[in-house]
A and B are shown apart, each in its own frame.
Chain A
């Protein structure tokens, strides 16, 4: 029924599209080189690799921007890991805008949250983990999104059919657990399996320099649990997607040079009910040493009430980071940070830098170092996966 409604609405959107003005294409093509600094834990795992990716967006609007259509396909072709090679429709949707409501139907992408070190509250889209282990890359999600814009805040209501499974590297890929994830054998908590329809609601409002969001998600967990199994004599991890309820709060206070941030979730249905939080600040020094360069200092604490039983690496960790914005013609930027586990002192150091070359090219540098990783730490199987990555992208 929901599918039929979605399809119908989508067709209505598409038909009005035919009457629209000319649309436009934009996007990028990119080449990426990844250099792993150490030999892998498992000799089957790959060494250095290069890959190609492309994303393009087709956009057109009509009726004075009150209706719009967007199509954003993405593709990556990886030289080594066939599971990192993938195609995804990030967006394919139609939006209609009215005085106090908006409706989006189709495949879309939504971000919730405020913190920098991890994104606990952000749950609408599945993580495209093979793209980046920082969890910021997302798969497109089919949705029916209704936004109500009222004086007392914005309310977004989501109906989310078509669950997407998390992407994982193959047996030869890096950043994997001791066994690889059998992505095609996923199991579900719901009797409807992956056809379960998820729902979510979020209220958000600005009160002066406070921005507040409260949300609830009910449906298939984006994060799986794992069960060890055997596949053709090999140990594999079977992902199990439970049915969960997650209530969340995101909060930011913008007080002059200080941004105070908090993300808090309470989740049930994924083992015992638990709470997780990320909170901290970003303090910016503008124009340091009269150079026009801004320096942002970030500190966040990452908490998970499950402690040692947490299904993420960050249950009692501190993130310290520095962001440099050069404010130059090339928009040069640098973000460097370290996440330290308070209990066992395991550290993940990350560096991200970028600048534009000429008008249409951009170079991105990314590096991650896993150091002093405790054998019992969640990240233990990544401890040989230090890498430096260079990406050159051409925009059109």
Chain B
């Protein structure tokens, strides 16, 4: 009975979507995108980061990532560094939370030391790349407020254009403008504006693949910093879902063993 009512309610809602305020509509789009990416359980993937400066000098990083979906809270993730070789074995454990600050630990293999670190460094560069910690951490709906702007053409498809405003005052951004495709609710492009509201970076997603018949992941993510001319290309490989990971694969013991 209850289910029927909810269904009815949601039908009414989508039928009257035009009547929503831009804020409500923006939030609704973000919630729908989040809903469509819910239930993946866990995933593992290999990541190659290609860093380029304005003179074309290149540097690469190899990282392996594990993610565990956590019900009613942010995801847990572990990043294990393979290259550059001097940081091989360094591992980063993060528990994202929907509200409040995240928990983060860093493992330094030379000293065998696990360090609890502050998660306040949201706007800092991740591994010298153009991605900030806040760009690569789990994108929870609650971390932003939203506003629907317009519909637009994006490549071969049609997109919603929404603005999102970071809730955390430590964010490096005033706002982000995101193009989300209307059919699959995947991000197509995100434009970042810095604290002074000046154009900072553009992130473009390419070569989406669908996993388990539901979850879309982009093989390529390209970040361009318009202020420095530096770019970072993320190439994702070997995405695997349903690995049977548990919270034991995301604790301080597994951090020390991470390889």
Contacts and interface: CB of A to CB of B under 8 A. Distances in A.
A256 B118 CA distance: 6
Among B53, B59, B113, B117, chain A packs the most CB atoms within 10 A around the CB of B113
A327 B139 CA distance: 23
Nearest to B121: A286
A200 B103 CA distance: 29
A257 interface: yes
Interface stretch (B12-20, B81-89, B183-191, B205-213): B81-89
Contacts of B31: none
B86 A287 contact: no
A254 B116 contact: yes
A356 interface: yes
B112 A294 contact: no
Interface stretch (A14-22, A183-191, A328-336): A328-336
A86 B57 CA distance: 40
A68 B257 contact: yes
Contacts of A68: 257, 259
Interface stretch (A94-102, A170-178, A218-226, A343-351): A94-102
Interface string B64-86: 00000000000000000001111
A360 B253 CA distance: 29
Given A286-B124, A328-B128, A329-B53, A395 B111 contact: no
A381 interface: no
Contact of A256 (B85, B101, B124): B101
Contacts of A362: 86
A42 to B, nearest CB: 33
A106 to B, nearest CB: 14
A245 B252 CA distance: 27
A136 B88 CA distance: 19
A359 B251 contact: no
Interface in B96-151: 101, 103, 111-114, 116-118, 120-121, 123-125, 128
Nearest to B119: A254
B235 interface: no
Interface residues of A, number: 46
A137 B128 CA distance: 28
A154 B114 CA distance: 14
Contact of B251 (A149, A284, A287): A149
Nearest to B172: A287
A359 B116 contact: no
Contacts of A111: 111-114
B202 interface: no
Nearest to B83: A359
Among A154, A252, A284, A287, chain B packs the most CB atoms within 10 A around the CB of A287
Interface string B43-77: 00000000101000001100000000000000000
B101 A395 contact: no
A359 B120 contact: no
Nearest to A327: B125
A154 B128 contact: no
Contacts of B101: 209, 256
A286 B120 contact: yes
Interface in B228-248: 248
A334 to B, nearest CB: 16
A300 interface: no
Contacts of B84: 331, 356, 359-360, 395
11 contacts: A97-B257, A111-B113, A204-B252, A209-B101, A258-B118, A286-B120, A287-B124, A327-B124, A359-B59, A395-B85, A395-B86
- Ranked nearest first, the 10 interchain pairs of A and B with the lowest CB-CB distance are A395-B85, A329-B128, A111-B112, A327-B125, A111-B113, A362-B86, A286-B121, A395-B86, A109-B112, A329-B59
Given A111-B113, A287-B121, A331-B86, 5 more contacts: A100-B248, A256-B118, A287-B123, A327-B124, A359-B60
